[in-house]
């Protein structure tokens, strides 16, 4: 059986018609009907001719043919077969109707039935007009106003008004009024159960109310009309109010029927409008809730397409996204993973993902929850939370942890270095002193005196290295000063140039004239550069030992770099050596980390270099060289004019 509640013809529902009505196809089959039709003659599926008495079928066929003319509403009195098998006299009216989809004039008929003896077709025409005019009105107050206007405009009615009763049925508010007394009645509120409101509160059938001069009507303190036609508006056995009409002349049965039909229409129409009003309010609250949520949010339907999103979601992705599939909206791996999580949400699963979203690649924690969007099943709610600050704080905590661990390691190194330096320093001082005494006893032109000088010089260099080793555990910070970079570089090169030449390694220096003065401790900068040259020399020699040919090279370059806080100088030391493995780039600054075998390195040079550069406010890091070797980069702040 067809679902008549969903049947729409020319824009209205058959169930909205307060008379027995059916949609009859061109071939004469009753395709759909409303409940009133079922009660009177039965349901859908049969032929209309089978419901009509055989003696009157030709007359009915004749009016169906006449109804194909546009605007025609012919009627005939006939007998129809009831569900109980009795022939019941009725008035049948037909009008051509385009049917579902508006197939055009003559595609079928809208057939209505009235009680026998009612020759006036005004009620049917009024009901059809009411449904066509008011079925789309979803505002309760507007619905009542237009209903009252329909009575005045469509019938001989002087005044129409619609009282709405309080829940206890005693008070009344005239929610709508039209006609002669509209200004007097509109918005009027009364208490008590007398007069026409009292009759309406009793419920029952439509009827006439004749004014009693001995009993005052609260609605009409200046005198009630002689006659009022009324019908209660009821819903689920509760009286909501009533439809009232003051006839301009004699009311007649047709007016009573029209008022009754309008009341029946409003009994369902008011509830539908109120439900829509509540739905609209809920939708408004829903939209406001979406608007105030700080996190980006998307409602996804069971088909995987976005149905709604809030402003933060649009800002994050730079587009609305409504109607787009999740996979296409988020793109790439993020779209694939979120789409898979949405599919899983249809089965009731929750998923948490960490992804980067939007053109700015904002790191987000994505939560995908099961959610029925717009009443559909299998939808999902996708919520994104920006975790940039959390990641930054995690990185900061990781830096602090690493710094704490490094301090602990350096403290251990310092304790060891202090003990070693003390043990070595005493015999070293003896060697230096005895060499100095021997040199004083020798003639100046003696070659042995020159050798003694070399012993003294190298001994003092060892003593300086011991002091440097002890400084790892016991800092004696020196304030940075204005340091001329070319001078510090030249001093460091002078210490290593001879040994590099002996090993066939070219040292190339590229510093432009007028490079800025940097913020550093001069002798510490010299030590840092010597340490970098020493590591580079070993790497180049190791490359030759592994089969490399030709002369090696070490290149130092310096360039100024503009920054927001005054600028810095980028010093780069790179070589043609064996390079650094990718996994070792960060570790080479750790204490005791060395790639050298045997006794050729302790793994402390770069550790000390990072500590010194950091105290100047600079940075040092390692990269892979473009030509296969290693590249160490120093970023040293420029010496500011306010320092």
Number of neighbouring beta carbons within 10 Å of residue 626: 8
Mean pLDDT, all residues of the chain: 80
What are the pLDDT digits (tens) for 288-335?
766 677 888 888 888 888 888 888 888 888 888 888 888 888 888 888
| SS3 labels along 399-423 | HHHHHHHHHHHHHHHHHHHHHHHHH
The residue that leads in pLDDT, 210 or 605, is 210
pLDDT at 100 over 50: no
The residue that leads in pLDDT, 477 or 530, is 530
Average pLDDT score over residue span 561-589: 84
CATH 1.20.200.10 assigned to domain 4-118? The reply is no
pLDDT at 101 over 50: no
E strand spans, 492-629 = 505-510, 518-520, 552-561, 568-575, 619-624
pLDDT at 602 over 60: no
Q: Band of the pLDDT at 75, cuts 50, 70, 90?
A: confident
Q: Band of the pLDDT at 403, cuts 50, 70, 90?
A: low
pLDDT at 255 over 90: no
Q: Band of the pLDDT at 121, cuts 50, 70, 90?
A: low
How confident is the model at residue 396, as a pLDDT? Answer: 78
How confident is the model at residue 434, as a pLDDT? Answer: 83
What are the pLDDT digits (tens) for 337-365?
998 998 888 888 888 999 888 888 888 99
Question: What is the Cα 606 distance to its own chain's centre?
Answer: 48
What sign results for the dihedral spanned by CA atoms 437, 441, 445, 446? negative
What are the pLDDT digits (tens) for 10-44?
444 566 566 788 888 888 889 888 888 888 888 88
State both tokens at 115. Answer: 């009680």
Which DSSP string corresponds to 285-348?
HHHHHHHH-SS-EEEE-TTSBEEEE-HHHHHHHTS--TTSBHHHHH-HHHHHHHHHHHHHHTTT
Distance CA 487, CA 493 (A): 10
How confident is the model at residue 551, as a pLDDT? Answer: 84
pLDDT at 441 over 90: no
3 neighbors 14 (Cβ within 8 angstroms): no
Report the share of the chain in percent with pLDDT over 70: 79
Burial of 502 (0-12, 13-18, 19+ CB in 10 A): exposed
For residue 546, what are the CA distances in angstroms to 539, 540, 543, 581? Answer: 11, 10, 5, 16
How confident is the model at residue 625, as a pLDDT? Answer: 83
How confident is the model at residue 160, as a pLDDT? Answer: 93
Average pLDDT score over residue span 127-154: 77
In 3D space, the residue among 263, 243, 266, 258 whose CA is nearest the CA of residue 160 turns out to be 243
What are the pLDDT digits (tens) for 405-418?
766 666 666 666 66
How confident is the model at residue 99, as a pLDDT? Answer: 41
pLDDT at 221 over 90: no
Q: Band of the pLDDT at 276, cuts 50, 70, 90?
A: low
pLDDT at 375 over 60: no
pLDDT at 461 over 80: no
In 3D space, the residue among 258, 207, 206 whose CA is nearest the CA of residue 233 turns out to be 206
Q: For residue 482, list its beta bridge partners.
A: 519
Most confident of 162-171, 178-187, 261-270: 178-187
528 neighbors 609 (Cβ within 8 angstroms): yes
> According to CATH, what is the number of the domain 481-637?
3.30.565.10
205 neighbors 260 (Cβ within 8 angstroms): yes
Provide the CATH topology of domain 296-386: Beta-Lactamase (3.30.450)
Q: Band of the pLDDT at 492, cuts 50, 70, 90?
A: confident
DSSP category for residue 638: B
Q: Quick check: helix, strand or coil at residue 74?
A: coil
pLDDT at 114 over 60: yes
Contacts of 210 (CB under 8 A, 6+ apart): 226, 227
Q: Band of the pLDDT at 164, cuts 50, 70, 90?
A: confident
In 3D space, the residue among 124, 126, 129 whose CA is nearest the CA of residue 111 turns out to be 124
Q: Give CATH superfamily name and number for 131-280.
A: GAF domain (3.30.450.40)
Contacts of 552 (CB under 8 A, 6+ apart): 503, 504, 505, 506, 540, 541, 543, 544, 575, 576, 577
Burial of 483 (0-12, 13-18, 19+ CB in 10 A): buried
Average pLDDT score over residue span 380-393: 86
Enumerate long-range contacts of 126-129, CB under 8 Å, 24 or more apart: 126/150, 126/154, 126/155, 126/258, 126/261, 126/262, 127/17, 127/18, 127/19, 127/258, 127/261, 127/265, 128/17, 128/95, 129/154
Name the region of 179 (left: φ>0; alpha: ψ -120 to 50; beta: rest).
Answer: left
How confident is the model at residue 105, as a pLDDT? Answer: 39
Q: For residue 110, list its beta bridge partners.
A: 23, 95
Q: Quick check: helix, strand or coil at residue 555?
A: strand
Classify strands 20-25 and 30-33 as parallel, antiparallel or unpaired.
antiparallel
Average pLDDT score over residue span 196-215: 80
Residue bearing tokens 């059916």 = 22
Q: Band of the pLDDT at 486, cuts 50, 70, 90?
A: very high
How confident is the model at residue 6, as a pLDDT? Answer: 35
């Amino acid at each position: 059986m067809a679902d008549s509640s969903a049947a729409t013809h020319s824009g209205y529902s058959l169930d909205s018609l307060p008379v027995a009505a059916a949609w009859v196809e061109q071939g004469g089959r009753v395709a759909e009907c409303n409940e009133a039709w079922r009660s009177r003659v039965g349901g859908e599926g049969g032929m209309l001719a089978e419901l009509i008495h055989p003696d009157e079928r030709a007359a009915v066929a004749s009016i169906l043919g006449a109804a194909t003319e546009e605007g025609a509403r012919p009627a005939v009195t006939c007998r129809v077969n009831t569900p109980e098998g009795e022939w019941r006299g009725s008035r049948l009216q037909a009008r051509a109707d385009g049917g579902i989809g508006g197939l055009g004039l003559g595609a079928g008929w809208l057939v209505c039935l009235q009680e026998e003896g009612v020759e006036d077709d005004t009620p049917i025409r009024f009901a059809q007009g009411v449904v066509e005019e008011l079925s789309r009105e979803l505002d309760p107050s507007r619905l009542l106003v237009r209903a009252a206007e329909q009575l005045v405009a469509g019938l001989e009615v002087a005044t129409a008004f619609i009282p709405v009763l309080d829940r206890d049925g005693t008070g009344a508010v005239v929610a709508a009024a039209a006609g002669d007394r509209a200004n007097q009645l509109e918005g009027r509120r009364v208490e008590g159960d007398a007069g026409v409101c009292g009759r309406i509160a009793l419920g029952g059938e439509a009827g006439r109310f004749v004014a009693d001069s001995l009993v005052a009507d609260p609605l009409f303190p200046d005198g009630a009309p002689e006659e009022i036609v009324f019908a209660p508006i009821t819903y689920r056995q509760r009286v909501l109010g009533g439809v009232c009409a003051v006839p301009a002349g004699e009311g007649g049965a047709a007016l009573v029927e029209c008022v009754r039909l309008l009341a029946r229409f409003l009994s369902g129409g008011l509830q539908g409008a109120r439900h829509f009003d509540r739905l609209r309010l809920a939708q408004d609250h829903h939209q406001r809730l979406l608007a105030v949520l700080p996190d980006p949010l998307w409602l996804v339907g069971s088909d995987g397409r976005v149905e709604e999103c809030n402003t933060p979601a649009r800002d994050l992705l730079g587009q609305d996204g409504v109607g787009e599939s999740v996979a296409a909206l988020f793109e790439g791996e993020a779209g694939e993973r979120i789409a898979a999580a949405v599919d899983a949400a249809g089965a009731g699963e929750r998923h948490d993902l960490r992804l980067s979203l939007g053109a700015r690649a904002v790191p987000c924690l994505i939560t995908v929850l099961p959610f029925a969007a717009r009443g559909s099943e299998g939808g999902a709610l996708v919520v994104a939370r920006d975790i940039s600050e959390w990641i930054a704080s995690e990185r900061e905590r990781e830096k602090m942890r690493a710094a704490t661990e490094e301090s602990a390691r350096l403290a251990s190194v310092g304790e060891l270095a202090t003990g070693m330096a003390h043990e070595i320093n005493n015999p070293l001082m003896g060697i230096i002193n005895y060499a100095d005494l021997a040199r004083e006893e020798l003639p100046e032109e003696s070659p042995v005196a020159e050798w003694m000088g070399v012993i003294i010089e190298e001994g003092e260099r060892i003593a300086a290295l011991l002091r440097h080793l002890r400084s790892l555990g016991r800092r004696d910070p020196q304030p940075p000063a204005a340091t001329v970079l070319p001078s510090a570089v030249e001093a460091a090169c002078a210490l290593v140039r001879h040994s590099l030449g002996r090993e066939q390694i070219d040292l190339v220096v590229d510093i432009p004239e007028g490079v800025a003065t940097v913020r550093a401790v001069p002798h510490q900068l010299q030590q840092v550069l010597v340490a970098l040259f020493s590591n580079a020399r070993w790497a180049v020699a190791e490359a030759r030992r592994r089969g490399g040919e030709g002369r090696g090279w070490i290149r130092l370059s310096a360039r100024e770099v503009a920054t927001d806080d005054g600028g810095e100088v980028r010093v780069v030391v790179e070589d043609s050596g064996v390079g650094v493995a990718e996994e070792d780039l960060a570790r080479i600054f750790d204490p005791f980390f060395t790639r050298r075998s045997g006794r050729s390195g302790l793994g402390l040079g770069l550790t000390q270099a990072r500590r010194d550069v950091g105290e100047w406010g600079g940075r040092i890091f390692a990269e892979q060289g473009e030509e296969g070797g290693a590249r160490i980069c120093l970023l040293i702040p420029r010496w500011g004019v306010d320092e």
